[in-house]
Amino acid sequence: MIEILTNRLMIVPCSLDIAKSLVFHRKELEKRSPIEIPSYWPTSVVRGFIPYYIESMERMEKEEKDLDCGFWLIILYEQKKIIGDLLMKGKPEKEGEVELSYHIDGDNVDETIAYEAIDAFIDWLTYQQAVKKIIMECEVEHQQTIKLYNKLGFICKKKDGNFLTWEIQKKGE
C-alpha cells in the first residue's frame, strides 16, 4: 500500500473495504478502527463521491484496469485521527492533467496542515510520470485557499463566475 508521510501526516489511499464500511457499517468501523473517524468526516461532497468510488474500485478489480479516480485519507499521525481527504478526479488525461480537491477540518488543525498535505501529495503525484499538470479550484471569496494555492506555487488561470481555476505544472514541462 502506498503511504505518503510528512512530519505530522500520513496520507493513504482509501481502500475498498474502508469505503464500503463508511457507507454500510460506519458505527462498526468507528468501533474497530485504530484511527479516530470524526463525526464531521467525510464531508457531503465526499459522501456523494464514495458510491462512485466503490463502483470504480469493484470494476477495476474485475477488469484489472487502472482506477479512474483517487480518494485519499489525511491522517494526523500522532493523534491517529482522520482530519481530511484528497480527491483526484480521474486519472491523468493524455496531456497528463489531473484535477485535485481537498478538505481539511479547519477547526481542529492549524493552517499549515493543509499546505503540508497538499504539498506532499503534489510531490508524490509529480513523480508519477503520467502527471504533468495539476488543477485545483476554489471560490473567489475563499481568501485562505487563494493564499494557500499561491504559497504552493499554483497560478490562477481562469475565473468563471465565483470560481477560480488554479494550475501547477511539473517542473521542466
3-state secondary structure the chain: CCCEECCCEEEEECCHHHHHHHHHCHHHHHHHCCCECCCCCCCHHHHHHHHHHHHHHHHHHHHCCCCCCEEEEEEECCCCEEEEEEEEECCCCCCCEEEEEEEECCCCCCCHHHHHHHHHHHHHHHHCCCCCEEEEEEECCCHHHHHHHHHHCCEEEEEECCEEEEEEECCCC
pLDDT at position 9 is: 96
Contact 75, 9 (CB under 8 A): yes
Question: What are 17-41's pLDDT values in tens digits?
Answer: 999 999 999 999 999 999 999 988 9
The amino acid at 155? I
Predicted model pTM = 0.89
pLDDT at position 64 is: 56
Coil, strand or helix at 113? helix
pLDDT at position 162 is: 96
pLDDT at position 22 is: 92
pLDDT at position 67 is: 52
Alpha carbon distance 152, 165 (integer Å): 14
Contact 35, 47 (CB under 8 A): no
Alpha carbon distance 86, 108 (integer Å): 17
pLDDT at position 99 is: 92
pLDDT at position 59 is: 80
pLDDT at position 69 is: 64
Alpha carbon distance 65, 68 (integer Å): 9
Taking 50 as the pLDDT cut, the residues of the chain under it are none
Closest CA relative to residue 33, chosen from 87, 73, 69, 85: 73
pLDDT at position 10 is: 96
Coil, strand or helix at 128? coil
pLDDT at position 40 is: 86
pLDDT at position 12 is: 94
